[in-house]
Chain A
């Protein structure tokens, strides 16, 4: 295959976003096995951690099976070529967590904020730069902001020291034209690499990622078998195959990557993510994909239909991290007598 298009760097958060699908229960053996396989396939960046990032293990979003330190040091041992990445949310993790992560060999740290709240990333992006790691800024739930707002927020993060910016389609709500308009606005506003992180609730994750590349994104997030929150992420091995057909180099050995994806299906997940009706409702309503498991539990407890619960959460414009609102919303629906 001739490489005619620009190179795309694939960022693989299988061992972080996938945690949402199994209530943050990955153990050291699972992390070791997949990280080694991804490294062998030449995946440039492998992200590891609790689904909500460093320091997030809690009742609010679920306790992780092993500590941040164990996750990072396990992956570090086997990542010989790949960079190791971690995610952090200001207010959840602190600069101490960042120092700890860098001590455990993290090369890239992503600081994430809700799409309109980039100002919370200022301090931590600065700390990461001081620590000598690569600092990237992430805007979560980015469908809740328009292209100009996102461009403005990304420019702020670059001003704070971000060496790359990334927009997350945390709800899997986008269609390709939504992504194209946003990535185009962002690439016009910043002079650092722009990344896109898709979810597959509407079956558009690969198409959205390609739209992002066409609009100027040079980093794409994708997970083996799509292992991730809700309907899953952009499926890594499919994305790389499509990028190859389009003539974009990734530096990844697709055949070894397919093996890594097979291994991921065997060792990481009880079943690969699928677009079930709940995920569809979630994507359509623009609700954070990570709400799937807690919302199913709350709907069951309150005796309401999950579809209605997602619609209600969408109406409330609830943002990632507000998991405590889910049972309230379910009880309110039950009290209104919404039939199951």
Chain B
């Protein structure tokens, strides 16, 4: 069993705490916020967690964590990484920073245990790469594109200030996981009412694509992701002119704390827990969960 710390107390941090508490392999040792008396910290305390203010330094003072989840922002992550390096903790990065080993559970999740600095790309990357990677196993894409649309209520201040990093790391990861010559990533923030579910529109340009085989590849990728993210659903999958594949997926959040539209948080939170559990499986015995 691994002891974890959560750095950041937004909605995503709170969902992580809940998942850690329900995991047979993980326990929550500390939740660290920045501002004393913040709502997020109070909610973390209500969930029974030990809490602290003072950011990364408070976390280092408390010490002794196997896994640290960084749920802050891309500006602060490099400092967190530097300061944690000496502690030996596994750092799971939920910010759109490009420095950790990029892990997507259904694609290369088994590699998580061999990295101590894990990057989770972005919510859009986690939602699109399983499908795009699967297609790239059968066809050689010249171009891949993903357009993510997240509801405004599910995109906090840190994410809004990190849109450049979001676009950049997602585009980089699309290229890395598909080998496409060119990749494009776009994030929309939608104020449509009622709040729409998290949605990803993907385009793959490759020679010789056919509806039948493409449908099977996409269905298999969908099924694999659903085992980890139950609200993941392929909405449309069409082939145009045997050159272009368009796949649209939507992700509804299925857990109590996160509003149903915020599938963007669900998909990256699930990936973070998956990565931490890979480390736990490699190192320790499960904890005894209360019946």
Chain A residues, Cβ within 8 Å of B167: 91-92, 94
Query: When A91-B186, A94-B163 are in contact, do A322 and B168 touch as well, CB less than 8 Å?
Result: no
Instruction: Verify B192–A322 contact, CB threshold 8 A.
Output: yes
- Identify whether the interface residues of B are mostly helix, strand, loop, or mixed: strand
Instruction: Verify B201–A117 contact, CB threshold 8 A.
Output: no
- In the bound assembly, the distance between CA atoms of A10 and B164 in angstroms comes to 31
Segment among B8-16, B111-119, B144-152 that sits at the interface with chain A: B144-152
Chain B residues, Cβ within 8 Å of A317: 191-193
Kindly state whether residue B38 has any CB partner on chain A within 8 Å: no
Chain A residues, Cβ within 8 Å of B168: 94, 96
Chain B residues, Cβ within 8 Å of A60: 145, 147, 186, 201, 203
- In the bound assembly, the distance between CA atoms of A114 and B193 in angstroms comes to 13
1/0 per residue, CB under 8 A from A, across B77-98: the answer is 0000000000000000000000
Instruction: Verify A318–B192 contact, CB threshold 8 A.
Output: yes
Closest A residue to B248 by beta carbon equals A324
Kindly state whether residue A316 has any CB partner on chain B within 8 Å: yes
- In the bound assembly, the distance between CA atoms of A117 and B235 in angstroms comes to 27
Contacting residue for A123 out of B147, B164, B248, CB 8 A? B164
Contacting residue for A91 out of B163, B191, B235, CB 8 A? B163
Kindly state whether residue A271 has any CB partner on chain B within 8 Å: no
1/0 per residue, CB under 8 A from A, across B230-264: the answer is 00000110000000101010000000000000000
Chain A residues, Cβ within 8 Å of B184: 58-59
Closest approach, in angstroms, between the C-beta of A223 and any C-beta of chain B?
A: 25
Closest approach, in angstroms, between the C-beta of A328 and any C-beta of chain B?
A: 7
Number of chain B residues whose Cβ lies closer than 8 Å to a Cβ of chain A: 30
Instruction: Verify A116–B163 contact, CB threshold 8 A.
Output: no
Query: When A324-B201, A328-B235 are in contact, do A120 and B149 touch as well, CB less than 8 Å?
Result: no
Closest approach, in angstroms, between the C-beta of B184 and any C-beta of chain A?
A: 5
Contacting residue for A58 out of B147, B152, B163, B189, CB 8 A? B147
- In the bound assembly, the distance between CA atoms of A325 and B201 in angstroms comes to 9
Kindly state whether residue A95 has any CB partner on chain B within 8 Å: yes
Chain A residues, Cβ within 8 Å of B193: 317
- In the bound assembly, the distance between CA atoms of A120 and B191 in angstroms comes to 13
Instruction: Verify A324–B164 contact, CB threshold 8 A.
Output: no
Chain B residues, Cβ within 8 Å of A123: 160-161, 163-164
Query: When A59-B145, A59-B203 are in contact, do A122 and B188 touch as well, CB less than 8 Å?
Result: no
- Contacting B at CB under 8 A, from A299-340, are 316-319, 321-322, 324-325, 327-328, 331
Instruction: Verify B161–A316 contact, CB threshold 8 A.
Output: no
Closest approach, in angstroms, between the C-beta of B122 and any C-beta of chain A?
A: 11
- In the bound assembly, the distance between CA atoms of A95 and B167 in angstroms comes to 11
Closest B residue to A92 by beta carbon equals B186
Kindly state whether residue B133 has any CB partner on chain A within 8 Å: no
- In the bound assembly, the distance between CA atoms of A317 and B244 in angstroms comes to 29
- In the bound assembly, the distance between CA atoms of A115 and B192 in angstroms comes to 11
- Contacting A at CB under 8 A, from B134-160, are 145, 147, 149, 152, 157, 160
- In the bound assembly, the distance between CA atoms of A264 and B145 in angstroms comes to 33
Chain A residues, Cβ within 8 Å of B145: 58-60
1/0 per residue, CB under 8 A from A, across B156-194: the answer is 010011011011100000000000000010111111110
1/0 per residue, CB under 8 A from B, across A112-141: the answer is 001111011011000000000000000000
1/0 per residue, CB under 8 A from B, across A77-95: the answer is 0000000000000111011
- In the bound assembly, the distance between CA atoms of A59 and B248 in angstroms comes to 13
Closest A residue to B165 by beta carbon equals A94
Closest approach, in angstroms, between the C-beta of B211 and any C-beta of chain A?
A: 15
Kindly state whether residue B199 has any CB partner on chain A within 8 Å: yes
Instruction: Verify B163–A90 contact, CB threshold 8 A.
Output: yes
Closest approach, in angstroms, between the C-beta of A157 and any C-beta of chain B?
A: 13
Chain A residues, Cβ within 8 Å of B203: 59-60
1/0 per residue, CB under 8 A from A, across B265-279: the answer is 000000000000000
Instruction: Verify B191–A144 contact, CB threshold 8 A.
Output: yes
Instruction: Verify A319–B160 contact, CB threshold 8 A.
Output: no
Query: When A59-B145, A328-B248 are in contact, do A94 and B164 touch as well, CB less than 8 Å?
Result: yes
Instruction: Verify A116–B152 contact, CB threshold 8 A.
Output: yes
Instruction: Verify A327–B236 contact, CB threshold 8 A.
Output: yes
- In the bound assembly, the distance between CA atoms of A117 and B160 in angstroms comes to 10
Closest B residue to A320 by beta carbon equals B188
Closest B residue to A331 by beta carbon equals B236
Q: Could you say which of B164, B168, B184, B203 has the most chain A C-beta atoms within 10 Å of its C-beta? A: B164
Instruction: Verify A116–B147 contact, CB threshold 8 A.
Output: no
- Contacting B at CB under 8 A, from A52-101, are 56, 58-60, 90-92, 94-96
Query: When A59-B145, A60-B145, A322-B149 are in contact, do A114 and B201 touch as well, CB less than 8 Å?
Result: no
Contacting residue for B188 out of A91, A95, A115, A331, CB 8 A? A91
Instruction: Verify A117–B152 contact, CB threshold 8 A.
Output: yes
- Give 21 CB contacts A-B under 8 Å: A59-B184, A90-B160, A91-B166, A91-B167, A94-B163, A94-B164, A94-B168, A96-B164, A116-B152, A117-B189, A117-B191, A119-B160, A144-B191, A316-B192, A317-B192, A319-B191, A319-B192, A322-B149, A324-B201, A324-B248, A325-B199
Other 13 A-B pairs with CB < 8 A, given A58-B186, A117-B189, A120-B189: A56-B186, A59-B244, A90-B160, A91-B187, A116-B152, A117-B152, A120-B163, A123-B160, A317-B192, A317-B193, A321-B186, A324-B201, A331-B236
